[in-house]
Structure formats: C-alpha cells, structure tokens
C-alpha cells in the first residue's frame, strides 16, 4: 500500500526517484491522473527527505507532448504510428532476416544508462539478447564505470563487489574526480550528500578533493587541489610511495588474506616522488602530508569517480585507490571502504555473473570484451568497416534501448554517420532523439510513474543497507507496454521464427520477490526482518537494514577467498605509466574535461522548461589568464577543435578552472535535424562528444578517455 486517499480524492503516494543513483524517496500527491506536488519523503531511511530539482520533472516526463506513446515506423512519408503487434512482428522479421543473411554478430545492441534505473529492463533485456546470441553487445558501461567492475572482478572476484565509501562513519574522505554536489553520487548511492558531509566535518573529519576544476564539491571541501587531467595515477602512486617508504602500512586483519602487496610495494617504492608530483601538479610536500593524514586517520576512504574512471589511466588510478584503502587497513572497516549487502543480493545469487575479460575481441581494433560487452568506442568502426570474413561480419543492425550514444560516446559525429548506414535499427525509447532518429522503428515503453520500481542495482552500491519497493503511481494506458513487456514480446517472436527454445520466465516483480525472500534478510533464510515483496509493499517508505558490515574474507568471490592486490595487468600498466613519466611529451594543447549540472541528466531531461530555463550553462569554461593568453574575450564565441572534430561555443572566464584546462558539459548538441524535442532544441548547446576521440582510451580495458582530451581554442 504505497498510497493513501483522502476525501477530496487526493492520493498521497510514496516512491523512489529513479533518475539518478541517489534513489531519493518521494512523496507525490495526485488527484486522478493529475500530479499536485512532489516532495522529499522525510521517512525514507536513506534519503531522509532529500530531493533535487530533477525530481519535480518526473511530472514533466509524464506529461511531455513530445514523449512517444505509440510505436512509430519510418516510412517514405516520414514517421507513422503503428500498432504494437505489427511493430513487434516487423522488428522480429527484420532481425531474423539480417541474422540469417549475415550471422548473429551482425546484430549489435547498446543499452544506455536508464537501463540500470529500470528493473524490468535489467531482468528482461539480457534475456532478449541471449535469444539473439550476438557478441557485439555494447552499453554505457564503457563510457563510465568499466574500470571499477573490472577491478572488482580481478581483485575481489566479482564485478559487482565494488567497495563503497562508508561516509556516515568516515573521518578522512579523499575524493578524486567526483562531484557529488552536482551528481548526487555515483557508485556510491549517497542521497543528501551535503548533510552527510556536514556530519563528517562536525565530528572532526575532513574531505580532500582533487579536481582540475574547483567544482561544487571542491567548494564545500576542507581542501581542494588542482590536478592535471589524466595524471591522478601519479598523485595516487605518490601517496602509496610515501606510505610504503615511511612504513605507514597497517594491513591489520586484511594481511591474512591479501595477496600481492609485496609486488605492489616493490614496484611503487622504486618511484621518485618529485617526478610524480611534477607530473600531476600537486606539490610533493602536499602529497606527503595527505599520505600521512590518510594513514593516521581512525578511518579513511579514498573514492574516485568519472574524472578518474574515464581517463587514459583510469584503471590504474582506480587500482591505486583500492590499494590505498587496503594498505591502510581501511577496506572492510567501519568508516572505510566497505561492501553493501543488498536485500536482493545481486552479488551472491545463483543467476549473478562474476565476470570475464578478453574472451573475445572487437573485429576491427581488437578491443577486449568485459562481461560480454565490447567497448562502445569501437561501435562506429564495427559498422563502417566492411568485412571480408563471413565469420566476423560487420554490424548491419542495431538495437538501442534507453540510450543516446550519438551524444554520449566518443566521436559521436562518426557514430551519427555510421547509424545512418545500418540496414535496420530498432530503438526502445521514450523519445525521438539524436540517436533514435536513425531507427527504422521506435518502441516507446511506459514512463517511470506508470510502472512499479525496485532498485536492483543502486541498493548494491548504497552507503547504507535499505530496501524499498514502489507501486506504480498511475495505471498504464490501454495497450501500452513496459520495457520488459516489449523485450518479452520481441523475444517470443524471435524465438518462434528462429525455432529457439524459450523457457517460461517470471515477471520482474516475481523475480524481486524471489530475490528478497532468498536474500540475506529474507523470509526463506529465517532472517528476523523476513523480507518479501508483500512485506515491502506494506512499508511504502522502505525498510532500514542497517549500516554496512564487515564481511571479508567470506564474501570474496575468488575460490581461495583471498584478495588479489596486484593483478598482472595492473603491474604491466604501471610500467607503461612509469615509461611515460620518464619521457614526458612536450604537450602544449589545452585539455578538455566534462561538467555535470544538478538540473541536467546526461543527454536527456533537456526537454523540460523547468530544468533548462535560466542562464545558459553549456558554455566552455576557461581560466581568465588562458583566455588572455589565447587572445580571447569572456563571452565571445570560439571554435574548439580536437583530432576528430570541431564545435563552436561561447566561452566563459572562470577562475574555477585550472590553467591549461577547459570544461564543456556532455549530453548537449540538440540542434541536429529530425528529432522531436522542441524544448531541448531551443536550448541546444553543443556536444562535448563531437570532440572526444574514439581512439583515446584507457589501454587496460578500452574504456573511453572522456577527460583530458587535447583541444585547441580559437576566436571565431
């Protein structure tokens, strides 16, 4: 019973906001199908009443006249609405035809970010892809958190066993390349970050931020240090060097099951602190002091996000972050970096996949798969490069769901051209956007308020164990389909045409119920909380399952129950980095980094006036001294150029920026023709990913290096 009704027909409904990783609890008042108000739910055990301006826009998503409500098919006379049966039959027919002619790998897929915010997509998209048996699968993972998953797999044995900073008990919080004041946290579900930080500071704790921009998070930090984009590995190696050199390591009980520390120590102790400091731009005495403070703190956690996940040495940097937490004894310790234990345990479940790496490679450039997906930086070339080998066909068809890779992946303009050349493209999306405009068929699912919700993924990465199930706010309109029903409808038709066996499969709600009951707090395990779907349905604010608890070594997924602290791939990458340090290139170009804003969400949510109104915020930010050096004036229009492209944009003087670094938000560039996004078009901006480079990657895993891209800036 997620809702109550009063005499005037006003219902009060409690549910989760699924727009970002903070998963805030909402209180929504409705009369009939009219949304009267959206506020934070004070009784939510995790978010405690916190919300941000995007939550109010849930109403706008629901009511947006541009949002698609019926399948649309491309015809010679433009887009035409068609019925669901006809649409699904048509999609299945085209896909089967292409598979028969060119082979399974000729059909690629791309799953975008909202997939992980929609549990029906999480349960049912993989099942559809299994039916297709294609090895050309892509997702937003490889423009995002790929290094985290790969390291979790290598070090702890499971791709989802990602340590989470225990901010509520932490005394020293070291943050690299994350801006939770704007993003509300990532791989760290941390709603109400501001108040959690205030509490940390009030108990005498400290937050130190490294960022080439004095971000909103740097503003509220106790210390902020500029760092040259893409060089954080040098800073982190500097910290580790000092800790090894001054014998500040304190493994405590981790020593009993941590392998490889000695190999890491040997490689890192040999480095020269002054060289590392010069490379990253943080002074050696500052690195030394932070290392000592971190090691001496009662509890400390190092955390790095997009700025250090999507850069050239992203995996190396993230590895150093893991190592720092380990060698100071802060892994799996209260106030350090701990493991959440979600009610539906996505880590420890019979259907969960620990991961695999490099089992196959992309056809054209040989980039490695991880957990069945190839780096999306390779998608365009896999379409555009003809194949002479029938066993390894070029991609001829693409299914996208909940994504906009034309605006969100490197060298988006190239992908834009590539999509136009496909034999068939199917998109499951709410909008006709920069990517889906290339589709032959768009299948629009119900928007979030018309379906139920459970955070399969974000409860796994949260700073506290909680669980919450949301009933739909509205019944879905007659004939409309949820994402999972679209996948199921298509999968059934494909299987029938391919003569493939298809076992009956539970609904998302049935899967959650099973997961809750058999999970760590579940009724089946006789846990006192006795979780089940029915029980959560009676707790509309969610249930609190307590702080994170120590769980090592039992929870490790390596068979020997040991942590692998020095994966060989990382020791190799370290040598590569050291070689680069020894022969620094004469770099004179400016470095481009990204920027997130509280009122934006990746490439979408720009079609709601409430969020885009007010002063423009899509300018290129540049330090005033750099403007002067380049003969540019504040507010003028400039051309920004990279190896792959060129955009024209207004430049703003900002002393938030480090010298030599410029910042442009991603997800904009809505002036492209053929979309149906009236408000976004009027606030078009330019796409950062028309500048990012599909060959500029993290060499370990092929994750896109979206930060630190060399660019030039000239007056127009």
Taking residues 20 to 49 in sequence order and writing x for each that binds ligand SF4 by CB under 6 A, - otherwise, the string is x-xxx-------------------------
Structure tokens at 2: 């997620």
In the complex, minimum distance from the CB of residue 467 to Mo ion, in angstroms, rounded to a whole number: 23
Classified as helix, coil or strand, 462 is: strand
* Range 156-185, binding ligand SF4 (CB under 6 A): 184
- For ligand MGD, the closer of residues 339 and 458 by Cβ is 458
The reply to whether 382 sits near ligand MGD by the rule CB under 6 A is no
**Site size for ligand SF4 (CB under 6 A):** 12
- For ligand SF4, the closer of residues 49 and 126 by Cβ is 49
Taking residues 185 to 214 in sequence order and writing x for each that binds ligand SF4 by CB under 6 A, - otherwise, the string is ------x-----------------------
Structure tokens at 197: 């930080």
Structure tokens at 307: 């700025």
The reply to whether 692 sits near ligand MGD by the rule CB under 6 A is yes
- For Mo ion, the closer of residues 179 and 652 by Cβ is 179
The reply to whether 689 sits near ligand MGD by the rule CB under 6 A is yes
Which of ligand SF4, Mo ion, ligand MGD, none sits in contact with 17, Cβ below 5 to 8 A by type? ligand SF4
In the complex, minimum distance from the CB of residue 410 to ligand MGD, in angstroms, rounded to a whole number: 7
Structure tokens at 257: 């099951």
In the complex, minimum distance from the CB of residue 600 to ligand SF4, in angstroms, rounded to a whole number: 10
* Range 177-206, binding ligand MGD (CB under 6 A): 177-180, 182-184, 186
Q: Are residues 677 and 434 in contact, defined by beta-carbon separation less than 8 angstroms?
A: no
- For ligand SF4, the closer of residues 52 and 218 by Cβ is 52
* Bond prior to 553 in cis (omega within 30° of 0): yes
The reply to whether 144 sits near Mo ion by the rule CB under 5 A is yes
Tell which residue, 165, 126, 237, 260, has the closest CA to residue 568. 260
Which of ligand MGD, Mo ion, ligand SF4, none sits in contact with 593, Cβ below 5 to 8 A by type? ligand MGD
Interatomic CA distance for residues 488 and 698, integer angstroms: 36
Stretch that binds ligand MGD, among 319-327, 339-347, 424-432, 529-537 (CB under 6 A): 424-432
Interatomic CA distance for residues 617 and 623, integer angstroms: 16
Tell which residue, 196, 319, 52, 337, has the closest CA to residue 207. 196
Residue-by-residue DSSP string for 655-683? TTBPTTEEE--SS--TT-TT---HHHHHT
* Range 330-359, binding ligand SF4 (CB under 6 A): none
Structure tokens at 647: 């955009």
Interatomic CA distance for residues 72 and 426, integer angstroms: 10
Tell which residue, 561, 472, 647, has the closest CA to residue 118. 472
Stretch that binds Mo ion, among 140-148, 203-211, 358-366, 646-654 (CB under 5 A): 140-148
* Range 582-601, binding ligand MGD (CB under 6 A): 593-594, 596-598, 600-601
Indicate the burial class of 701 (C-beta count within 10 angstroms; 0-12, 13-18, 19 or more): buried
Stretch that binds ligand MGD, among 261-269, 300-308, 363-371, 670-678 (CB under 6 A): 300-308
**C-alpha triplet 299, 303, 305: angle, nearest 5°:** 170
Contacts by residues 439-442 (CB-CB < 8 Å, ≥ 24 positions apart)? 439/74, 439/400, 440/73, 440/74, 440/94, 441/71, 441/72, 441/73, 441/74, 441/87, 441/90, 441/91, 442/68, 442/71, 442/72
* Range 90-119, binding ligand MGD (CB under 6 A): 112-114, 118
The reply to whether 51 sits near ligand SF4 by the rule CB under 6 A is yes
Which of ligand MGD, ligand SF4, Mo ion, none sits in contact with 156, Cβ below 5 to 8 A by type? none
Which of ligand SF4, ligand MGD, Mo ion, none sits in contact with 707, Cβ below 5 to 8 A by type? ligand MGD
Phi, psi of 628 (to 5 degrees): -60, -45
Q: Which of 64, 211, 513, 573 touches ligand MGD by CB under 6 A?
A: 211
Interatomic CA distance for residues 221 and 200, integer angstroms: 11
**Site size for ligand MGD (CB under 6 A):** 64
Interatomic CA distance for residues 658 and 409, integer angstroms: 25
The reply to whether 21 sits near Mo ion by the rule CB under 5 A is no
- Edge-to-edge strand order for the sheet containing 397-401? 78-81, 72-75, 441-443, 424-428, 397-401, 107-111, 137-139
- For Mo ion, the closer of residues 134 and 408 by Cβ is 408
- For ligand SF4, the closer of residues 24 and 713 by Cβ is 24
The reply to whether 229 sits near ligand MGD by the rule CB under 6 A is yes
Q: Which of 13, 54, 148, 670 touches ligand SF4 by CB under 6 A?
A: 54
* Range 516-555, binding ligand MGD (CB under 6 A): none
Which of Mo ion, ligand SF4, ligand MGD, none sits in contact with 666, Cβ below 5 to 8 A by type? ligand MGD
Q: Which of 28, 30, 46, 52 touches ligand SF4 by CB under 6 A?
A: 52
Q: Are residues 640 and 664 in contact, defined by beta-carbon separation less than 8 angstroms?
A: yes
Q: Token pair 């290129």 is at which residue?
A: 620
Which of Mo ion, ligand MGD, ligand SF4, none sits in contact with 11, Cβ below 5 to 8 A by type? none
In the complex, minimum distance from the CB of residue 213 to Mo ion, in angstroms, rounded to a whole number: 18
Tell which residue, 244, 161, 165, has the closest CA to residue 561. 161
Phi, psi of 498 (to 5 degrees): -90, -5
Indicate the pairing of strand 709-715 with strand 637-641: antiparallel
Indicate the burial class of 712 (C-beta count within 10 angstroms; 0-12, 13-18, 19 or more): middle
- For ligand MGD, the closer of residues 21 and 573 by Cβ is 21
In the complex, minimum distance from the CB of residue 527 to ligand MGD, in angstroms, rounded to a whole number: 31
Interatomic CA distance for residues 288 and 485, integer angstroms: 56
Taking residues 448 to 487 in sequence order and writing x for each that binds ligand MGD by CB under 6 A, - otherwise, the string is x----------------------------------x----
Structure tokens at 410: 């490197």
Q: Which of 123, 387, 539, 602 touches ligand MGD by CB under 6 A?
A: 602
Stretch that binds ligand SF4, among 51-59, 607-615, 649-657, 660-668 (CB under 6 A): 51-59
Interatomic CA distance for residues 566 and 201, integer angstroms: 34
* Range 552-611, binding ligand SF4 (CB under 6 A): none
Q: Are residues 523 and 530 in contact, defined by beta-carbon separation less than 8 angstroms?
A: yes
Interface ranges with ligand MGD (CB under 6 A): 20-21, 112-114, 118, 140, 143-144, 176-180, 182-184, 186, 210-213, 215, 227, 229-230, 232, 305-308, 311, 401-405, 408, 428-431, 433, 445, 448, 483, 593-594, 596-598, 600-604, 666-667, 688-689, 692, 706-708
Interface ranges with ligand SF4 (CB under 6 A): 17, 19-20, 22-24, 51-52, 54-55, 184, 191
């Amino acid at each position: 019973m997620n809702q109550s009704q009063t005499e005037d027909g006003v219902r009060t409904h409690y549910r989760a906001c699924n727009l970002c990783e903070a998963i805030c609890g909402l209180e929504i008042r409705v009369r009939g199908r009219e949304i009267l108000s959206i506020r934070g739910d004070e009784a939510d055990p995790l978010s405690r009443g916190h919300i941000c301006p995007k939550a109010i826009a849930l109403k706008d998503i629901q009511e947006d006249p541009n949002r698609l409500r019926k399948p649309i098919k491309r015809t010679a006379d433009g887009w035409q609405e068609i019925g669901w049966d006809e649409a699904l039959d048509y999609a299945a027919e085209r896909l089967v035809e292409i598979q028969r002619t060119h082979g399974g790998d000729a059909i690629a897929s791309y799953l975008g970010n909202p997939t992980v915010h929609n549990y029906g997509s999480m349960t049912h998209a993989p099942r559809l892809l299994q039916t297709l048996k294609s090895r050309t699968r892509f997702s937003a993972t490889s423009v995002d958190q790929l290094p985290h998953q790969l390291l979790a797999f290598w070090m702890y044995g499971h791709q989802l066993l990602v340590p989470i900073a225990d901010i509520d008990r932490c005394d020293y919080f070291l943050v690299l390349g994350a801006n939770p004041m704007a993003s509300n946290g990532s791989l760290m579900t941390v709603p109400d970050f501001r108040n959690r930080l205030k509490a940390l500071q009030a108990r005498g704790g400290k937050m130190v931020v490294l960022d080439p921009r004095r971000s909103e998070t740097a503003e509220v930090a106790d210390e902020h240090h500029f760092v040259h984009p893409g060089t954080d590995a040098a800073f982190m190696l500097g910290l580790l060097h000092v800790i090894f050199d001054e014998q500040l390591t304190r493994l405590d009980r981790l020593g009993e099951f941590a392998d490889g520390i000695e190999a890491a120590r040997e490689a890192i102790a040999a480095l020269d602190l002054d060289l590392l400091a010069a490379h990253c731009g943080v002074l050696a005495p500052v690195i030394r002091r932070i290392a000592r403070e971190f090691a001496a703190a009662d509890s400390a956690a190092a955390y790095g996000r997009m700025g250090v996940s999507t850069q050239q040495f992203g995996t190396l940097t993230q590895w150093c972050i893991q190592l720092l937490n380990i060698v100071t004894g802060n892994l799996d310790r209260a106030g350090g970096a701990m493991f959440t234990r979600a009610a539906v345990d996505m880590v420890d479940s019979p259907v969960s996949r620990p991961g695999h790496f490099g089992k196959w490679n992309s056809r054209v450039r040989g980039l490695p798969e991880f957990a069945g997906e190839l780096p999306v930086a390779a998608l365009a070339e896999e379409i555009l490069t003809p194949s002479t080998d029938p066993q390894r066909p070029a991609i001829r068809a693409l299914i996208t769901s909940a994504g906009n890779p034309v605006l969100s992946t490197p060298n988006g303009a190239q992908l834009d051209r590539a999509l136009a050349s496909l034999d068939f493209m199917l998109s499951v999306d709410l909008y006709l956007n920069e990517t889906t405009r290339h589709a032959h068929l768009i299948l629009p699912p119900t928007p979030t308020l018309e379906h139920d919700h459970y955070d399969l993924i974000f409860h796994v990465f949260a700073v506290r164990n909680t669980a919450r199930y949301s009933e739909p706010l509205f019944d879905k309109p007659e004939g409309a389909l949820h994402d999972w029903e679209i996948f199921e409808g298509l999968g059934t038709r494909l299987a029938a045409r391919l003569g493939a066996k298809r076992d009956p499969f539970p609904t998302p709600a049935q899967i959650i119920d099973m997961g809750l009951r058999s999970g760590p707090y579940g009724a089946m395990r006789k846990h006192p909380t006795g979780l089940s779907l029915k029980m959560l349905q009676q707790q509309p604010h969610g249930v609190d399952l307590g702080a994170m608890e120590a769980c090592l070594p039992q929870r490790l997924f390596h068979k020997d129950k040991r942590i692998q602290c020095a994966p060989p791939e990382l020791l190799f990458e370290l040598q590569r980095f050291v070689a680069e340090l020894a022969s620094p290139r004469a770099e004179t170009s400016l470095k481009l980094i990204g920027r997130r804003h509280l009122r934006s969400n990746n490439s979408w949510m720009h079609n709601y006036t409430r969020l885009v109104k007010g002063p423009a915020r899509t300018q290129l930010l540049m330090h005033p001294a750099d403007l002067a050096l380049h003969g540019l004036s504040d507010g003028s229009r400039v051309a920004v150029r990279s190896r792959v492209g060129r955009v024209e944009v207004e430049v703003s003087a900002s002393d938030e920026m480090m010298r030599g670094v410029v910042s442009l938000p991603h997800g904009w560039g809505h002036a492209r023709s053929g979309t149906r996004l009236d408000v976004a078009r009027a606030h078009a901006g330019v796409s950062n990913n028309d500048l990012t480079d599909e060959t500029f990657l993290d060499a370990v895993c092929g994750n896109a290096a979206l930060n630190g891209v060399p660019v030039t800036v000239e007056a127009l």
